[in-house]
Amino acid sequence: MIPMNRRTFLKGVGGACVAAPFLGSVHEQWAKAAGVPAAAPKRLVIFFTHNGCLTNRWFPTKTSGTLAAADLTGSYLNVLGPLANKLLIPRGFRSLNGYGQGQTIDPHDQAMGSKLTCAQISSASNRYATAESLDHTIAKQINPNGGAPLVLGVGAASTSIKEVLSFSGPTTAFPANTNPQTVYTQLTGVLGTGGGGDPVTEADWRVARGQSVIDLVRADLTDYQRLNMSTADQGRIQNWLDLLRDTEVGVNNPTMAAACTTGAAEMYGATAAAVTAASPTGKITDGNVLGPRGTAESDANLATSFTLGTDMMQNLMALNMICDQNRMLMLVFPGYITFNWDGINHTHEHHGLSHRTGDFTVGGACGVDGVLDMIAQIDTWYTGKYARLVNLFNSIGEGDGTLLDNTATMWLPELSDGGAHNLNNLPIVIAGSAGGYLKQGEIVNVDSGTPQAGNSEGSCQNGGNIGNTGSSGGNLPINKLYVTLMNAVGCTENGMPGGPKVTKFGVFDGMSSATAGISNPGEVASLVAAPT
Amino acid sequence: MYAYRTGIIIAATLVAGCTAKVENHDNGDTGSGSGAAPASGGSGGSSGSTGGSVNTGGSVSTGGSLNTGGSLNTGGSSGSTGGSLNTGGTGAVPNVDCTQMVKPTSQIPRLTNTQYDRVIRDLLGLTALSTGSVPSNLLATDQAGGLTELGWSAYNSVGEQIAAQVIADPTLKANFLKCTPVAGDATCLHNTVIEFGRRAFRRPLTTEEIARFDAVIAAGATITETGTPDEIAETLLYMFLVSPSFLQRSEIAGVADGAGNFTLTPHETASRLSFMMWGSAPDALLNQAADAGQLATPEQVLAQAQRMLQDPKARDMVNSFHQYYLLMGAGSRWNTAKKDPTIFPTFNTALVSEMTEETLRFFDKITFSGGTFRDFILSPIAFVTSATAPFYGLNPASFSTTLTETNLDATRPGFLTRLGFLNNFSNYSRTSPIFRGAFITKQILGIHIDAPPPGAEQTMLPTGPELDTVRKQVDAMTMGADCSGCHQGYINPPGFVMEAFNSIGVWQTVEASTNAPIDTTADVIIDNDLPVHITTPAELMAQIAQSPGAMRQYAAKWVGFAYERESDPMDACTADLLAAKMTNTGYTVMSLIADLTQSQSFRVRAVEGLQ
């Protein structure tokens, strides 16, 4: 009897997937038409941070051209030096719907809601985005079974617009999952034993029970399906039925199944004990725009979540990709957090520091001694975590290269400078070429002229006035970056395999969110590698 | 965060249009948009409904503001047909027809994580997994979209853990099994399917459903490790916990009511009642009433609602509501007060949560001792400790380390003169008339104020020898054309009246830094854009307590919270009716909560667009 994954109840001999009778998603149709998917799917990974950074320390001095390790010295990105040949720094993108550019609800809410949707936010009190976000658009096209993106975070779970980046539909938030235990548990149903451990055979009672559960739940759902409910409700039932079918059919990419083992999980740090250690069971101090307010225990849990938890989430993202469970992944950090770990001992939370005032006030005198150094500490910490993620992916072999090569792993910020709240010339870096699509080892100015690195440190030394910490230039709408990335991971304009390239994403791309329409379609050719 | 220049909100009038409509679709002055789910476990924080116009012959015309110019005595009788609120209260009730004002809802909303924890607690007695966390700690984060693979995986994993723990613990086991299963005899487990299934699905199982679970029992030997009765029982429980009819609060009766909506079955009504009142599944009494068809009339439903309000679980719900009403929670201003120790040496950050807790105790006390909305604004009750006593001018020796109920004097009516509000809506080194004024104007009076225009936050707070009080500084700063419309007329005046209390909530008659006298007179707009001359906080509270706008704001907040949805024009009708009832003195808060079960929106359901 061939050893099986616990949840592959109907896996055929030799590993071929049982043909699924109901192919609901675009990707399904593609898979059916194309046969077994390629061994190395392409993925988009987004690493998201709040409150901007000291942009003049982030950007390398070099503004365009080939990127070598030496070009990164002096900037935060120095730590990525060894991987310079796999980096792409697109200078000059602007994200949309800044405060006063069509809406005057709140700068941070608008920045979050519009970031991956390029749409306005709702005027209802939850202020959620009014359109689906990029990660869901991409996931529907490229994910196995068109499943939802994997949106992870650390800290306390939050459904606030201030922390939500992903929207599965208009005004429907898709908040991050912040418990590594939950993510790991899902994987343990998928990881094969790779020849070691305790094989589960078809005759195992667990397999029989699993099938029994599916049958029972499916029968319940089929009863619901017969009711004359709204389109939305019918969609929810069908969605659940699809999940059951996916559980039955099992591993979607048999070619990759060989790498998806408990051994791999251990190798990349995801043991049961390590996951438990990274997953606090008690309350975690939640983010607060007006300062910290946790107990000693909840603060300790926050530190665990940020330190062990970030690393474990990264490990689990790698494993999800190795097991081809998800090709659209995000790691979204919260924004209103007081850093007290890894050698950082702050008494003000990040957002307040980013304003230089130490709280939510804007402008005037710098309110905290050494505030720029504090911001730099946080910036450096995040750069280190991004570097860890990129290096982790690069350490995993895949095909002729590494996992990193088959991803575009992007660090996307909420803002450029947190004091100026500016959205132009966002500090963005992408690692990996998504299977050769994107240029590597280059800095590219995507907008005309040379967008400025910015004035984050212009003044504000020990009580001085904050002044203008923004930058000028760099206003190419970020929609075009998203279009480029969609093409990089294999999306098409009509969602059909072999279809035309994507040219448009989002509801608007102009300076005002009030004017709908894409005035500047198309990907950014200067970011795309020459065909070989 | 567009934020404030050391606590002074700069609002604009020209772009925003600062009007005094009682529209209640305010977004919160700090942009909290917290998305914190109400306890009944619904959507992200919603505000009151917008002012739809409900205009029936001879009764209350609501339009954008509650027009109290005319009398509320209507031509219609109080014994009106279904659709109008018809319970309790003295005086006349407007004969408004809310029949067509039922907002379409999903028929299959999933339990929120908080509801999941409560249902598990109430059905099985389990409050924590063996790891020490609540069950929902391991579920996917709440989201209203379709179930994800991660979410489904989590339900399975947590369901397995709960089932194992329940069977292993005799006390919990007895909450699941009301008999002892015997090997080779399916009777006990069959009966459990019926009995527990009734409770878990919040309705009796159909014969087909019972047969499906019976088939699981029959297959017990092949789907468990060794086929013992306990193992089969555990598998049965696990299967209930991952069933869609457990995880969804289904409303699937398809019987039209003749008015374009659909009726609810008694069991669906019971479920709505218990999730509204307790955020959890019905109890045995409610289940019995549903089984016996005794939830058919509004009066029967009301009686259950009143009973359920006496249960401690309702206190949690009410507490959650008032946190929502007061904009407490993650990202809010409450619990964050920090004060300059050189100016306020007696202040201690450790007291802040205690002060906020006092406010919640206040609302709990008023509500459950038969109080009214007016009492929230006027009651002298306070909850004081020896540490907070000095701020109230009381003797610490009379108090202890725990919050103790007492009465304050006539200068401190209601929660707006309690330390929680006063401390948290102030600044580090001084008061903030704008924080306090904006909160009173927007959150309590329900007056809509738009956000300031970009760049407003750069306005400097002026200083000068003639600006010898915070009031004068703020007044001077908000004189400009871009500011005055919202600030001079609406935001500042109530804040200026509250200058009687300093940044740490202590009564003051002079500005500490300059000895200049505090001036608490102002012309405050309460309702209908009409300024009322106020000289003290007590006078201000007297006005707020009888303000139709304030009452409507409170009612509208309850409607959004109880019905678990963002403010919707269709709910304006219900809010208007409740607000009108509130103008009757003696209409208690508990009556209002119970009356939320009397609206058309509660008694029937409407369907979103079909195919």
Residue among A164, A232, A336 minimizing CB distance to B608 = A232
Tokens of B292: 């016996």
Residue among A147, A286, A361 minimizing CB distance to B3 = A361
CATH class of A40-179+279-527: alpha beta
Residue B33 has pLDDT above 50, yes or no: no
More confident position, A230 or A36: A230
Residue among B31, B35, B213 minimizing CB distance to A173 = B35
Contact B212/A216 with Cβ under 8 angstroms?
Answer: yes
What three-state secondary structure class fits A173?
Answer: strand
Residues of chain A found within 8 Å of residue B145, distances taken between Cβ atoms: 148, 168-169, 172, 174
Cβ neighbours around B490 below 10 Å, total? 27
Q: What is the pLDDT of residues B536-568, one digit of tens each?
A: 999 999 999 999 999 999 999 999 999 998 778
- At B84 the pLDDT is 34
What residues does each domain of chain A span?
Answer: 40-179+279-527
> DSSP letters of A408-431?
EEEEEES-SBTTTT--SS---EEE
**Are the Cβ atoms of A186 and B254 closer than 8 angstroms?**
no
Fill in the DSSP letter of residue B605: E
The residue whose two tokens read 């007297």 is: B542
Q: What is the pLDDT of residues A459-472, one digit of tens each?
A: 676 567 787 889 99
C-alpha span between A234 and B544 (Å, rounded) = 47
Q: What is the pLDDT of residues B370-425, one digit of tens each?
A: 999 999 999 999 999 999 999 999 999 999 999 999 999 999 999 999 999 999 99
C-alpha span between A414 and A78 (Å, rounded) = 22
Name residue B370's amino acid: G
> DSSP letters of B370-422?
T--HHHHHH--EEEE-TTTGGGGT--GGG--SS-EEEE--TT--SGGGSHHHH
Contact A490/A142 with Cβ under 8 angstroms?
Answer: yes
What is the least distance, in Å, from the CA of A378 to any CA of chain B?
Answer: 19
**Are the Cβ atoms of A205 and B25 closer than 8 angstroms?**
no
Contact A225/B252 with Cβ under 8 angstroms?
Answer: no
Contact A426/A93 with Cβ under 8 angstroms?
Answer: yes
Q: What is the pLDDT of residues A357-405, one digit of tens each?
A: 877 667 777 878 889 999 999 999 999 999 999 999 999 999 889 999 9
Q: Which residues pair with A417 in a beta bridge?
A: A52
**Are the Cβ atoms of B108 and A233 closer than 8 angstroms?**
yes
Counted across chains A and B, CB pairs separated by less than 8 A come out at 270
Q: Which of residues 198-217 of B touch A (CB under 8 A)?
A: 208-209, 212-213, 216
Say which range, A340-344, B90-94, B370-374, has the weakest mean pLDDT. B90-94
* Phi, psi torsion values for A172, nearest 5 degrees: -115, 105
User: Which residues have CB under 8 Å from B15's CB, separation 6+?
Assistant: A104, B450, B453
Question: Which residue on chain B is closest to A149 by alpha carbon?
Answer: B148
> What was the ipTM of the complex prediction?
0.90
What three-state secondary structure class fits B323?
Answer: helix
The residue whose two tokens read 């917008």 is: B50
C-alpha span between A523 and A493 (Å, rounded) = 12
The mean of the pLDDT values for chain A is: 87
Q: Which of residues 545-584 of B touch A (CB under 8 A)?
A: 566-567
What is the least distance, in Å, from the CA of A114 to any CA of chain B?
Answer: 15
What is the least distance, in Å, from the CA of B570 to any CA of chain A?
Answer: 15
Residues of chain B found within 8 Å of residue A224, distances taken between Cβ atoms: 108, 244, 250, 252
- At A411 the pLDDT is 98
* Phi, psi torsion values for A48, nearest 5 degrees: -120, 130
**Are the Cβ atoms of A173 and B333 closer than 8 angstroms?**
no
Element (H, E) at A141: helix A134-142
Residue B91 has pLDDT above 80, yes or no: no
Residues of chain B found within 8 Å of residue A148, distances taken between Cβ atoms: 145-146, 148-150
Residues of chain B found within 8 Å of residue A230, distances taken between Cβ atoms: 104, 106-107, 607-610
Is B224 part of the contact surface with chain A (CB cutoff 8 Å)? yes
Report H helices in A43-133. 55-58, 107-115
Is B108 part of the contact surface with chain A (CB cutoff 8 Å)? yes
What is the least distance, in Å, from the CA of B129 to any CA of chain A?
Answer: 10
* pTM exceeds 0.80: yes
**Are the Cβ atoms of A361 and B611 closer than 8 angstroms?**
no
C-alpha span between A281 and A126 (Å, rounded) = 28
Question: Which residue on chain A is closest to B30 by alpha carbon?
Answer: A106
Residue among B31, B36, B150 minimizing CB distance to A183 = B150
Q: Which of A435, A430, A443, A440 is nearest to A405 (CA)?
A: A435
The residue whose two tokens read 């012309």 is: B523
Q: What is the pLDDT of residues B306-339, one digit of tens each?
A: 999 999 999 999 999 999 999 997 777 887 788 9
Residue among B137, B254, B336 minimizing CB distance to A179 = B137
C-alpha span between A288 and B34 (Å, rounded) = 10
The residue whose two tokens read 């658009």 is: A137
The residue whose two tokens read 């007492």 is: B406
Helices B548-562 & B572-582 angle (0-180, nearest 10) = 130
Q: Which of residues 383-442 of B touch A (CB under 8 A)?
A: none
Which among B17-26, B348-357, B360-369 has the top mean pLDDT? B360-369
Average pLDDT over residues B298-306: 97
Residue among B4, B7, B154 minimizing CB distance to A185 = B154
C-alpha span between A427 and A410 (Å, rounded) = 11
